[in-house]
Amino acid sequence: MEVKVRIKTSQCLDNGEVQTIESFYRGEQIEKNGSIYITFLEYDTIKDSKTTIKISDEEVLILKSGEVKTRMKFKEGVKFRSTYSTPYGNFDMSIYTYKISKKITNKNIKVNLDYKIKISGLMDANNRIELRVIPEV
């Protein structure tokens, strides 16, 4: 099914400043083996990158491929380590998920992820992702 995707990311920096980015995409949603998969293209200034979000009972997984490659796994109370690959190099990344809240109906999907992210040499911040998915009409 074709869907509209809204992603709002808020980041609280060490100095207390909050930065928020809101993005809108068109993508596809399928259900497979009890999980929901949402895929869409993110457009940046250089090239497209594909994002897949897998929503299952216990966790949320975000996979990015293209100019930036990464695998972000969110599971409450669990620390996940991965690599954040960019054209400028690879960086060690860790994510600790404080809370996942989900509301899934046949009309829309709402997922909030509250987590701490550390990317070596780049960032150390508390983040929140608000994901909203609604069917295209």
Domains located in the chain, CATH noted: 2-135 (2.40.128.20)
Pick 7 or 47 by higher pLDDT.
Answer: 7
Q: How confident is the model at residue 108 (pLDDT cuts 50, 70, 90)?
A: very high
Per-residue pLDDT reduced to its tens digit, 9-46 = 999 877 788 899 999 999 999 999 999 999 999 876 55
pTM exceeding the 0.85 threshold for the entire prediction: yes
Beta strands in the chain (DSSP E): 2-12, 18-32, 35-43, 48-55, 60-65, 70-74, 79-86, 89-104, 109-119, 123-135
Name beta bridge partners: 131.
7, 111
pLDDT value of position 67: 85
Tokens of 130: 């608000």
pLDDT value of position 47: 67
Candidate from 16-20, 57-61, 92-96 with smallest mean pLDDT: 16-20
Pick 88 or 30 by higher pLDDT.
Answer: 30
- Average pLDDT score over the chain: 92
